[in-house]
Chains A and B, each alone.
Chain A
Amino acid sequence: MTSATKTLVPTIATIIEAFDETPDVKTFRVKIDDEAAAAAFKQRPGQVAELSVFGAGESVISITSSPTQTEYLEFSIKRCGVVTDYIHTMGAGDKLGIRGPYGNGFPVESWKGKNLIIIGGGIGLAPVRSVLNYAIDNRDDFGHITLVYGARSPEDLVFKWEYERWGAVKDLDMNITVDCGDDKWSGKVGFVPTILKEVAPSPENAIALTCGPPIMIKFVLQDLAEMNFTPEQIVTTLEGKMQCCVGLCGRCNIGSLFICKDGPVFTLAQLNSLNGDF
C-alpha cells in the first residue's frame, strides 16, 4: 500500500537527475532514500505521488515512469504555481518529500492481449506514458499499439528523447503532431482529434486511453464514439485540485467518488453514470 505509515507524512527522496523537456516542463528522476520505504513503494501504471518541497508545499504528480523501471521514479512537471515553480529550481542531489503511490492506476492486467490506442496532448502524455512503457516492456502481453500525441508547437512536445526508441518497437504506430509547425518541423501538423480521425484506429479488441487538456479530451471522446468505441473501451484520467490525495480533505470528489482515491483513472462509462463538477 503506502510507503509511510503516517498517512500525511512523506518520506525523503533524492533527485538523481533532472532535465528540461520544454521551456516549462522538467523531468526529474527520483530515488527514495530509505531502503525499506523504497521497497514498499510499488506503483501501478497511472498512479500518482504527492511530492513535497518542504517550506513550499505539496503537489500531486503522475508517476510517468513504468513500474518496470525499478532504478528510479520519473516525474515530469509543468511549472505553474508555488510548488511547481520551486521544483523547477531543483536539480541532482536535491531532496524532496514523497508519499504514495496513490489512486487506482490503469487496470493493465485486464488489458492483456488487447490493442492499445494511446492519445495524449501536452503534459497529458505523462500519465499515459507509464502504460506505454509498461506495454513496451511486456510487449508480448499486448496487441497493436497506436500512439497519437500532440502539443502546441515542436518545442512543447514532451519526451522527445523517447521517440526514436518508441518508433523502433514492433507493431507500434507512432503519430506525433503539432498545432503549429516551424522551419525545422517535418512531422504532422494538426490538432490531436484531427490526426486521430486520419489514423482511424479500429475499436476491435481495443482500449483507448486519453489524457490532455479538457478541450482536446472533449473532441477525442466525440471522435472515438463516432469510430464505434463503446464507453467501456474508453479510459481517461481526471485532474482536480488536491490537498491530501487520500480521500480526506474533501475537495476532489466527482459525486461520491474521489479522484485521488477512486481515480484518477475512469472509464467513460463510469463518468457518464456520475454527476459531478469537472
Chain B
Amino acid sequence: MVTKILSAGNLQAWLDSLVAAYQVYAPVEGEGASSFKKIAKGQMPAMDIRTDTPPKGLIFKQVEKILSFEVNPDGITVIPGDENGTKKIVFGIRPCDSRSFTLTDKPFFDPNLPENQYMGHRNASALVTTACTSACRTCFCTSIGGAPDEKTGDVWMMDIDGKYLVESLTDKGEELIKANEGLFSDASADDEAAAKRIGEEVANSMPKINIADAKALDALFNDDAFWQKLTDKCLSCGACTFVCPTCYCFDVRDEGNTRKGERYRGWDSCMFYQYNRAAGGHNPREFHWKRMRQRMLHKFSYFPEKYGDIDCVGCGRCIRSCPVSYDLRDFLEGSLAVTGAAPVGFEKELSDVDTKDRSCEIKPADETVKTGGGL
C-alpha cells in the first residue's frame, strides 16, 4: 500500500480525473439538508461539512427493486433486480460513515443467505475516507471503538496544514492513487507524525462515554420505568433511524397489479407503530418505549452479541435531527447508572437533556476542548 502527499491545489485535479472515470459522490450543501451527491468536473465538494444525511443510501438503497414480474400465457416471468451496482467512488466520507458499511456488511454478507443487491453496490464502490480534524459536539466515535482518524475504507486521507496525507488501504484504493501518480508527491515521516498528532488531539477533545456491555444492557430489558422515562418525549417520527448510517431495517412492498408489477424493499423504521403490527392486530411493540428499547438494544446489545461490534458509529446524527432532542448519550449514561456499571459517585440523571448544545459547528480542535463537548 502507498502513502503520498496531495497538495491542496491538486485536489480538484485528482477529483476531475476520478470524475472522468467513475461516478463520484461527495458531500454537497443542499437546500434544507446536506448530503452525498454526484459531483461534476470542476466541482469542489464541501470537504469540511458533516452531511445531514449519511451516504448509506448509495449502497443500501432507500428503495431497491427486488424483482419485476409479468403474467404471460406460459406462467409468470420473474426478472430479478440488478445485482451489479454501478462503479462509483464515495469521496470525502468520514471515518464513522465508512465504518458503518463494515457493520452492515455483517448481516448482508451472510455466506448462506447473502443479500446480493447490497453486495453488488458495496463491491462496486470505493470509499475515500477523510479523517476528521475537529469534532462536533455530538460526535462520540471514540466511545464506540472508532476514532476521528480511523483508517477505514479504500483510501484514507487527512488534511495536515493545507495539504493532504493520502494512504491506500486496499488494492481498489491503490488504483485510484496510482492512476494519477503525477499529482502526488512522497510523504515524509514528519507528515505521518503530524497526522498522528492531529488525530490524537481531536480524539482527546472528545468526551468519552462509558458503555455498558451487551449483557448488562440486556438485563435492563425489564426495567419498564427506565425505558418509559427515556422515551417520554419521543414522537415515533423515525427521523433518527432515517439519518442513521447503520440502521438497515427494511420493508417489502409490491407495486402494480397481479398481472404485471414490481417488488421493492425500502427503508423502514423500528420507531413506527406498523413495524411489528401483525395481521389480526397483535403488536408486541405497541408502545413507543418498547420500540425505543428495541432501537437501543439492537444497537448496543443484540448486534454486538451476534456480530461482536456495537451497531452505532457515534456520528451523532440522530441526536442532531431529533425534533424533541432525544439524546442517545442519555441512554448510554443513564443505563450505566441503572446497571450499576457507572464509576462510584456517578449521579447522571436522565433529566438534563434540554441544556445541551447539539449544534455541529466545526471548530478547531483546541476550541472544542475549551467549550467542552456539550456533555
User: How far, in angstroms, from A247 to B303 measured CA to CA in the complex?
Assistant: 12
Pick from A95, A240, A253: contact of B76, CB under 8 Å? A95
Residue from the list B259, B279, B282 in contact with A81, Cβ < 8 A: B279
Stretch at the interface among B1-9, B22-30, B140-148, B270-278: B270-278
Complex contact A244–B252 (CB within 8 A): yes
Q: Which B296-350 residues have a C-beta within 8 angstroms of A?
A: 297-298, 301-303, 305-306
B113 and A6 form a contact (CB under 8 A): no
Do B302 and A256 touch across chains, with their CB atoms under 8 A apart? yes
- Is A241 a contact partner of B305 (Cβ separation < 8 A)? no
Pick from A9, A84, A240, A243: contact of B250, CB below 8 A.
A243
Residue of B at shortest CB range from A84? B279
Is residue B222 contacting chain A, with contact meaning CB distance below 8 A?
yes
For residue B311, give the distance in angstroms from its CB to the closest CB of chain A.
Answer: 11
Cα–Cα, bound, A112→B110 (Å): 32
Interface-side segment among A55-63, A176-184, A188-196, A224-232: A55-63
* Chain A residues positioned under 8 Å from B226 (CB to CB): none
A97 in complex: contacting residue of B78, B108, B253, CB < 8 Å: B78
Complex: A7 Cα to B81 Cα, angstroms: 11
Known: A6-B83, A275-B222. A55 touches B258 (CB 8 A): yes
Give chain B residues whose Cβ lies under 8 Å from the Cβ of A247.
Answer: 107, 110, 113
Within the complex, the shortest CB–CB distance from A246 to chain B, in Å, comes to: 5
B113 touches A56 (CB 8 A): no
Q: Does A2 contact B (CB under 8 A)?
A: yes
Contacts of B12 in A (CB 8 A): none
Q: Give B45-75 interface residues, CB cut-off 8 Å to A.
A: 66-67, 69, 71, 75
Tell me if B114 is interfacial: C-beta within 8 Å of chain A. yes
Contact of A167 with B by CB under 8 A:
no
B278 touches A86 (CB 8 A): no
B251 within 8 A of A: yes
With A241-B277, A275-B221 as known contacts, state yes or no: A248 contacts B67, CB within 8 Å: no
* A140 on interface, CB distance cutoff 8 Å: no
Contact residue among B114, B221, B248, B277 (Cβ-Cβ distance under 8 Å from A7) = B114
Interface size, B (range): 35 or more
Given contacts A9-B80, A81-B279, A277-B276, contact A248 B250 (CB under 8 A): yes
| Of B115, B263, B285, B297, the contact of A248 (CB 8 Å cutoff) | B115
Asked if A12 and B252 sit within 8 Å, CB to CB, the answer is no
Do A253 and B115 have beta carbons less than 8 Å apart?
A: no
Task: Specify the chain A residue showing the minimal Cβ separation from B256.
Answer: A55
Contact of B258 among A53, A80, A84, A276 (CB under 8 A): A53
Mostly helix, strand, loop or mixed at chain B's interface? mixed
Chain B residues near A10 (CB, 8 Å)? 78
Distance in angstroms from B81 CB to nearest chain A CB is: 8
Cβ-closest chain B residue relative to A239: B278
For the complex, is B228 an interface residue (Cβ under 8 Å from A)?
A: no
What is the CA–CA distance of A275 and B301 in the complex, to the nearest angstrom?
A: 11
- Partner of B249 from the list A9, A95, A214, A250 (CB cut-off 8 Å) is A250
- Once the chains are docked, how many angstroms separate the CA of A244 from the CA of B298? 17
Q: How far is the CA of A249 from the CA of B298 in the complex (A)?
A: 13
Q: Which positions 159-197 of chain A face chain B at CB distance < 8 Å?
A: none
Give per-residue flags for A1-28: 1 if the beta carbon is below 8 A from chain B beta carbons, else 0: 1100111111010000000000000000
Determine the residue in chain A with the shortest Cβ distance to B303: A256
Q: How far is the CB of A179 from chain B (nearest CB, A)?
A: 18
Chain B residues within an 8 Å CB radius of A7: 113-116
Specify which of A9, A33, A55, A244 is in contact with B254 (CB 8 Å cutoff): A55
The answer to whether A54 touches B263, judged by C-beta atoms less than 8 angstroms apart, is yes
Do B280 and A80 touch across chains, with their CB atoms under 8 A apart? yes
Which B residues are in CB contact (< 8 Å) with A250?
A: 248-250, 268, 270, 298
Choose among B83, B112, B248, B270 the residue with the greatest number of A CB atoms under 10 Å from its CB. Answer: B112
Q: Is residue B261 contacting chain A, with contact meaning CB distance below 8 A? A: yes
Q: Are B302 and A255 in contact (CB under 8 A)?
A: yes
| Alpha-carbon distance A6/B84, docked complex (angstroms) | 13
Are B116's CB and A6's CB within 8 A?
Answer: yes
Contact with A along B97-134 (1 / 0, CB 8 A): 00000000001101011111000000000000000000
Contacts of B210 in A (CB 8 A): none
A95–B306 CA distance with the chains assembled, in angstroms = 38
Contacts of A81 in B (CB 8 A): 279-280
Known: A275-B222, A277-B290. A57 touches B253 (CB 8 A): yes
Q: How far is the CA of A243 from the CA of B265 in the complex (A)?
A: 9
- Give 30 pairs: A residue, B residue, CB < 8 Å, sorted on A: A7-B116, A9-B66, A12-B78, A33-B75, A52-B263, A53-B258, A54-B76, A54-B263, A55-B257, A55-B258, A55-B261, A97-B78, A240-B276, A241-B275, A241-B279, A243-B251, A243-B252, A243-B268, A244-B250, A244-B265, A246-B110, A246-B115, A248-B115, A249-B265, A250-B250, A253-B294, A253-B302, A275-B222, A277-B285, A277-B290
**Chain A residues packing against B (C-beta within 8 Å):** 1-2, 5-10, 12, 33, 52-58, 80-81, 84, 86, 95, 97, 214, 239-241, 243-244, 246-251, 253, 255-256, 275-278
20 more A-B residue pairs beyond the given contacts A12-B78, A251-B275, with a C-beta to C-beta distance below 8 A: A7-B114, A7-B116, A9-B66, A9-B81, A53-B258, A57-B254, A80-B279, A81-B280, A84-B279, A243-B250, A246-B110, A248-B108, A249-B251, A249-B252, A250-B248, A250-B249, A255-B297, A256-B301, A256-B302, A275-B221
